[in-house]
A and B are shown apart, each in its own frame.
Chain A
Amino acid sequence: MAWGTCRLLALLTLVFGAAGFVRGEVYQEPDAFIAEVFGSKPSPKLLWLTRDMQAQASAILGHFPAQLRQRYWSDTRRSAWILEEIGKEELITAGFVVADGHIDHVRVLVYRESRGQEVRQSAFLKQFKQAKLGQGDLLDRQIDGIAGATLSVGAMERMARLALYFDRTSRE
């Protein structure tokens, strides 16, 4: 690649990234995901992360949680969580529906990385169906990776564990 093109690309990435124009690939708007799960969009609820919960969430994520409270939607059986986690360099936004302590379904809503979009495919996501938390807040099953999308797979797995943990905590 010519040096001029390199500089132009770096500049464009900075300018558009800083301006927030890079929204990534939006597969489904989070609003639409919640409406699809519950039929209409119920009012959100808030889960405040206590110090203990922050420590537990840190153990799951491998880093401190980005915020102190988490918005979620729920009815008597199910809860829906829209979570964000960095795959390699950019955030992946995914929706998780938890029913009776098991993952009901998962969807990648916004994918911003340049590689690894395969994590949005149903063949990958169906591995999470009926998964629950086992010992040490790990999933009770092995999630098969995808070549070239290892970090995105890891991020999806961490978010699934966090959704299950948040669901359990929100019902205590």
Chain B
Amino acid sequence: MSPRLFLLRLLRRWHARIGFAAMLFFLFLAATGLALNHGNGLGLDGRFIHAGWLARWYGMKSEPPRQAFHSRHHVLIAANGRWLLDGKISGEKLPQPVGLIELADTFVVASDTVLYIYRLDGELIEKLGRDALPGIPVRAIGSIERGIALRTASGIFTSADALSWQRAARRSVLWSAPTGLSAAERQSYGETLVPGISPQQMLLDLHSGRFAGRYGPLFVDLLAVALAALSLSGAWFFLLPGLRRGRH
């Protein structure tokens, strides 16, 4: 066998071997690449995957809730930027609440810079940012006879409609106070309120190899080298007959 033929056979054999070995990975890269390219259309950026193992894998610290806020008909438990309000989970980056009060036809949750006013059925009426509050940080929320009271860094304020606020005295306010959770409740709610990862971020990490840790990107680099080798050897096999014909 001539050295040229030997080289050609060797190259063809290795072209097939590398191609077969890398097939699954290339298909995987193609699939994740396609999904990433159409991530917005697929709605990947607005969703989150919540799983304890995934949060641990990403090194995200999952804090179990320590306390709950109760009003007559509502319960709020919060942890990791997520709220469990009357058994319904909401949000990904919600602030830590400082209190919950219930009025005649609404209930209100306060964080240090935001007030959330809900209808009794849980539908959000309005979110009041720092510009609509009489002072920040809000340290406590309480109820007065017909309205809301806020204890802020600049004093106590009350309002009947959350539009205009008046300075008020401390007395006659029923402040919202948290109640502690048992160890079992903390564990159970902690699992429910585990932080989430966006599927788009996860796909990006899978595609780049970062999901597998420090050596993942190196593995993807190797795949890139393999793909380059396959492309070059494939091109050679394709062009070789033409080159031979040209010589004859």
Contact = CB atoms under 8 A, between A and B. Distances in A.
B180 interface: no
B105 interface: no
A20 B132 contact: no
A93 B96 CA distance: 21
A68 B124 CA distance: 6
B77 to A, nearest CB: 14
Nearest to B216: A3
B95 A18 contact: yes
A30 B131 contact: yes
A11 B126 contact: no
B95 A1 contact: no
A10 B57 CA distance: 11
A2 interface: yes
A22 to B, nearest CB: 8
A68 to B, nearest CB: 5
Contact of A44 (B95, B124, B132): B132
Given A6-B210, A89-B45, A68 B95 contact: no
A20 B113 contact: yes
Contacts of A146: none
A17 B82 CA distance: 11
9 contacts: A6-B210, A7-B59, A10-B59, A14-B81, A17-B92, A20-B95, A20-B112, A46-B163, A151-B40
Contacts of B124: 66-68
B59 A8 contact: yes
Contacts of B93: 17-18, 20, 22
A126 interface: no
Nearest to B57: A7
Given A2-B214, A11-B61, 4 more contacts: A10-B197, A14-B61, A17-B93, A70-B126
Interface residues on B, range: 35 or more
B60 A10 contact: yes
A11 B132 contact: no
Interface string B91-135: 011111000000000000001111000010001111101011000
A71 interface: yes
Nearest to A6: B210
Bin chain A's interface residue count.
20 to 34
The binding surface of chain B is classed by DSSP as loop
B40 A44 contact: no
A46 B95 CA distance: 25
Contact of A1 (B61, B131, B210): B210
B37 interface: no
B60 A71 contact: no
Contact of B46 (A17, A82, A89): A89
Contacts of B112: 20
A44 B163 CA distance: 7
B40 A88 contact: yes
Nearest to A41: B131
A2 B209 CA distance: 11
A75 B216 CA distance: 60
A29 B131 contact: yes
A41 B117 CA distance: 23
A15 B195 CA distance: 10
A67 B127 CA distance: 7
Contact of A43 (B127, B129, B164): B164
A68 B126 contact: yes
Nearest to A110: B129
B127 A66 contact: yes
A88 B111 CA distance: 25
Contacts of B214: 2-4
Contact of A14 (B119, B195, B213): B195
B219 interface: no
Interface string B1-41: 00000000000000000000000000000000000000010
